[in-house]
Amino acid sequence: MGNTLTIAEAHEKLRKKEISCSELVQSCLDRIDSVDGSINAVIGRNFERALEKAKKVDSKGEFNHPLTGIPYLAKDVYCEKDVPTTACSNVLRKKDYKPPFDSTTIKRLNAVGAISIGKSNTDEFTMGASTETSCYGPTRCPWDPTRVAGGSSGGSAAATAADECVFAIGTDTGGSIRQPAGFCGCTGIRVTYGRTSRYGVMSMASSLDTIGPLCKNIEDIAIVLEAIAGKDPLDATTSDMPVPKYREALTGDIKGMKLGMPKEYFIDGMHEDTEAAVRETKKVFESLGATVEEISLPHTEYATPTYYIICPSEVSSNMARYDGIRYGHTVEDAEDLIDYYRKTRSSGFGPEVKRRIMIGTYALSAGYFDAYYRQAQKVRTLIKRDCEEAFKKVDAIIAPVSPTPAFTVGAHEDDPVAMYLEDIFLDTQVMAGIPALSVPCGFSKENLPIGLQIMGPQWQEERILKIAHAYEQSTKWHTRKPALGS
């Protein structure tokens, strides 16, 4: 079936007319109909529009770009003209916000003929590590639906792993692409801050947000990234750094490359299978002619506390726009304007969004700014320096994505700090603004995927893709599929 193909495979078949674009799109829609009831990855469906577009692509019959006619899902924070986009929040769901414009990424994907088939589930406004804070309910791991898919791009990761789409796009602010990719057994990349445009993607923490793809293999990541990366006049924080032809870097040759494994990423309480699988990658890299040495990133333990000051501070500012005036839901019984703000916001936001707004409001308030936000920004500098020092010695850093495989739904229900600790291996990269990706590196005894994280210096997406591709091609963990619905 077409839905199980990678982008590169589907493109080849479309080009040779072995499959039509309509058949390819229909195979994804059928798969969503048959398995999404078990995983809840897709919360918005553009099926009719997707089939109409597919027909047009077929009648034109030209497949010059590898993404032409390829069906994908967008995380529910990507604005898409006339398509309900709700950030999985009741604030926007009650009136089904329909953006009158496209985000830059959707526009770029449309321009090369990729076909959006729907919206994927996310934690409310991307705040979470399990997709459980979504107003549509949690996304479940395709390998074991009693467990979470990870988050916040849990819908994008689960849908990609379950072959409900050929690829998906997500966002990574504090691990929200890498962690669900690791839990679901697909690949995903957090790019260098400013490599991709944030325009039209609902902001969580503006100095940390990045947008990127989740795919079935590294070659596909290279294809999507090449299409969406690069300067955007509508996002002043994008860089005019040239976008490399990422696929050309995927030669499989990593001889002589120096990799570092940070000792701080192997901690008490981590799952023994995760530790074993990640340590085992050393042998694979050595067999490919690379070297692996132990390194140190001394401020690792401060990355997550830093994140949970900077992120909520920026959240408290960004969420101010949801005031029930320009968009969103409304209340009838307000006494005055302030009362209207309070009532719409209180009835629309879920608990995690409220928690972050309040932590941020507190951290930025008079008397606390220097102790919290300013101190966090200074520690951020130290974390960034750790990485700069490490990259003087090694070409890339390899580490686990998460300390354990996917946890059970509800495991952290009453403990927000336990949920935050899911990010402990994911926030250093955010603070340092460096690219990092997640690639499958094995399975636990319970048959749950384990992810390997590969990080490079700023702007070196090309290098980490090259390393990940060489690894992936010599292990083939990425070709295993969950038994879901079969």
Partner 1 sequence: MADLSHDDVRHIAKLARLNLSDEEVEKFSKELTSILKYVDKLQEVDTKGVEPTAQVTGLTNAFREDRVSESDATPEELLACSPLPIVEKQIQTSSAHG
376 near partner 1, rule: CB under 8 A: yes
Other beta carbons within 10 angstroms of residue 286's beta carbon come to 12
**Interface with partner 1 in residues 260-299 (CB under 8 A):** 299
479 sits near partner 1 (criterion: CB under 8 A): no
Nearer to partner 1, 146 or 346 (CB): 346
Binding to partner 1 (CB under 8 A) within 79-138 occurs at: 81, 95, 97-102
At its nearest, how many Å lie between partner 1 and the CB of residue 457?
A: 11
408/455 Cα distance (integer angstroms): 28
For partner 1, the binding residue among 359, 398, 409, 464 (CB under 8 A) is 359
Helix (H) / strand (E) containing 160: helix 154-161
d(CA 217, CA 198): 24
Residue from 71, 175, 194, 482 that binds partner 1 (CB under 8 A)?
194
Nearby residues of 411 by Cβ (< 8 Å), 6 or more positions away: 148, 418
CA-closest candidate to residue 79, choices 181, 171, 208: 171
CA 283, CA 186: separation in Å to the nearest integer? 22
Choose the stretch contacting partner 1; rule: CB under 8 A; options: 34-42, 260-268, 279-287, 353-361: 353-361
Hey, which residues between 302 and 331 contact partner 1 (CB under 8 A)? 302, 305-306, 308-309, 316, 320, 323-330
Q: Judged by CB, which is closer to partner 1: 126, or 160?
A: 126
Binding-site member from 343, 473, 480, 485 for partner 1 (CB under 8 A): 343
From 26-34, 62-70, 190-198, 270-278, give the range in contact with partner 1 by CB under 8 A.
190-198
Q: Which of 263, 342, 480, 481 binds partner 1 (CB under 8 A)?
A: 342
Residue 481 a catalytic site member: no
Please, which residue, 305 or 485, has the CB nearer to partner 1?
305
* Nearest-10 Cα torsion for 365, 369, 372, 373: 110
The three-class DSSP label of residue 378 is helix
Q: Does 11 bind partner 1 (CB under 8 A)?
A: no
Find where tokens 């333990």 sit.
301
Nearer to partner 1, 66 or 312 (CB): 312
Smallest distance, partner 1 to C-beta of residue 325, A:
6
- Tell me the number of residues near partner 1 by CB under 8 A: 74
Nearer to partner 1, 100 or 269 (CB): 100
Give 48 or 370: the residue with its C-beta nearer to partner 1.
370
In contact, 14 and 66? CB cutoff 8 Å: no
How is residue 24 written in tokens? 């390819």
Which residue in the set 13, 15, 355, 481 belongs to the binding site for partner 1 (CB under 8 A)?
Answer: 355
Query: Does residue 337 belong to the site contacting partner 1 (CB under 8 A)?
Result: yes
* Closer residue to partner 1 (CB): 289 or 362: 362
Burial class (CB within 10 angstroms; exposed 0-12, middle 13-18, buried 19+) of 241: middle
Q: Which residue has the tokens 């997709």?
A: 131
Least gap, CB of 6 to partner 1 (angstroms): 31
Beta bridge partners of 450: 442
Closest to partner 1 by CB, 12 vs 235, is 235
Q: Does 34 bind partner 1 (CB under 8 A)?
A: no
Q: Compute the half-sphere exposure of residue 365: CA atoms within 13 Å on the CB side of its CA.
A: 6
Residue 338 makes contact with partner 1 by CB under 8 A:
yes
User: Does residue 340 bind partner 1 (CB under 8 A)?
Assistant: yes
Cα(160)–Cα(478) distance, integer angstroms: 12
Tell me whether residue 152 is one of the annotated catalytic residues.
Answer: yes
3 state DSSP class of 155? helix
Least separation in angstroms between CB 297 and partner 1: 14
Residue 245 interacting with partner 1 (CB under 8 A)? no
Count Cβ atoms within 10 A of the Cβ of residue 255 and give its class: 0-12 exposed, 13-18 middle, 19 or more buried: exposed
CB 446 within 8 A of CB 144: yes
Stretch that binds partner 1, among 47-55, 170-178, 272-280, 381-389 (CB under 8 A): 381-389
Residues of span 395-454 touching partner 1 by CB under 8 A: 416-417, 420, 431-433
Residue whose C-alpha is closest to residue 92's, from 422, 319, 371, 357: 319
Both tokens assigned to 158? 């689960």
Given candidates 286, 321, 358, 447, which one binds partner 1 under the rule CB under 8 A? 358
Residues with Cβ within 8 Å of 417's Cβ and at least 6 positions away in sequence, in order, are none
Do 357 and 350 touch, CB atoms closer than 8 A? no
Which residues does 113 contact at the CB level (< 8 Å), separation at least 6?
57, 65, 67, 68, 69, 70
Restricting to residues 157-176, which ones interact with partner 1 according to CB under 8 A? none
Q: Which stretch binds partner 1 (CB under 8 A): 10-18, 21-29, 182-190, 344-352?
A: 344-352
Candidates 24, 129, 224, 379; binder of partner 1 (CB under 8 A) is 379
How many CA atoms does the CB half-sphere of 69 hold within 13 Å?
Answer: 33
Least distance (Å) from partner 1 to the CB of residue 124? 15
Q: Which of 75, 119, 216, 466 is catalytic?
A: 75
Question: Which member of 20, 103, 116, 176 is catalytic?
Answer: 176
| Footprint (CB under 8 A) of partner 1, residues 222-241 | 233, 236-237, 239
Distance CA 483, CA 486 (A): 6
Strand 167-172 vs strand 71-75: parallel, antiparallel, or unpaired? Answer: parallel
| Residue numbers annotated as active site | 75, 152, 176
